[in-house]
Amino acid sequence: MVEAKIRLYVDHPLAVGQSIPLERDQAHYLFGVMRQGEGAFIALFNSRDGEFLAEVTQAGKRGGTLTCREKSRDLQMPPDLWLLFAPIKKTRTDFIVEKAAEMGAMRICPVSTDFTNSERIRQDRLQAHAVEAAEQCGGTYVPEVADLVKLDRLLADWDPERQIMFCDEALVGAAEVLGAVKGGKWAILIGPEGGFSDAERKRLHALPYAHAVSLGPRILRADTAAVAALTVWQQQLGDWV
Ligand code: SAM
């Protein structure tokens, strides 16, 4: 099987013999930046059909065509894990989205909490970060980055089947760990730089499906906490073992 060095996410059905028209920016990236030409092979994936080796059958300045020649990998879905996090400074929010995509979150939900100071996000830009992370890490699935929603609103119609790993900084140093069994739908919740308000903490602790946990004896920055929580969850309940 031919090895493709470049991986590209396309929002298009994939199957052997399928031709995929390239968007202008994809053509610019492949032919302008990466200097690929007709006859080159690119690995394509679309979060649905797995990964395909596709040949460049038409290369142009403003567009081009790739034709799938063989299937190289099956779709590998991540666990049913959402990451809920309060947006922080732009670059650090970008970092959280990128790491969540690499580390196997299925959905990424920016939430605004009482002490969240970034009230706006660029959902399209964050989604592009998730795509780039999947292309780079060899994933065949790109998590959806949802639009910013108030935590209260999200909890109002929460599916009680989905357990919440509530990372509560008030438990810093406590021995509260995730004593849960594998399987089922989960979410990790990380607060903003200002932490959770007392009202939020009281509400979350009262939820039967929320499990308050400590992330160790030190207060972590929100972006560090997101990576730490994803690591703990994946190691204990996810698809890393
Ligand atoms: N301003 C808060 C304070 O000084 O206590 C710190 C908030 S921390 C920067 C941001 C988020 O990371 C917290 O809301 C929590 O979700 C998570 N976090 C950080 N350190 C943690 C820890 N040791 N245990 C549990 N969660 C933690």
Pocket test for ligand 1, best of 88, 169, 178, 221 (most atoms within 8 A of CB): 169
Domain locations along the chain: 7-73, 81-236
Q: Specify the CATH superfamily of domain 7-73.
A: Hypothetical PUA domain-like; domain 1 (2.40.240.20)
Report how far ligand 1's centroid is from the alpha carbon of 164 (Å).
16
Q: Is 202 helix (H, G, I), strand (E, B) or coil?
A: helix
Nearest CA to ligand 1 atom 21: 169
How far apart (Å, rounded) are the C-alpha atoms in residues 172 and 120?
A: 29
Ligand 1 close to Cβ of residue 196 (< 6 A): yes
Please measure the distance between the N-terminal and C-terminal CA atoms of the chain and give it in whole angstroms. 28
| pLDDT at residue 118 in the model | 78
| pLDDT at residue 1 in the model | 66
Ligand 1 close to Cβ of residue 215 (< 6 A): yes
Q: Is 115 helix (H, G, I), strand (E, B) or coil?
A: coil
Report how far ligand 1's centroid is from the alpha carbon of 220 (Å).
6
Nearest CA to ligand 1 atom 6: 195
| pLDDT at residue 183 in the model | 82
Domain at 81-236: CATH code: 3.40.1280.10
Non-local CB neighbours of 232 within 8 Å, separated by 6+ positions:
165, 177, 178, 213, 215
Q: Quick check: do 7-73 and 81-236 share a fold? A: no
| pLDDT at residue 240 in the model | 87
| pLDDT at residue 176 in the model | 72
Residue ranges of the chain with pLDDT lower than 50?
A: none
Nearest CA to ligand 1 atom 1: 194
| pLDDT at residue 13 in the model | 98
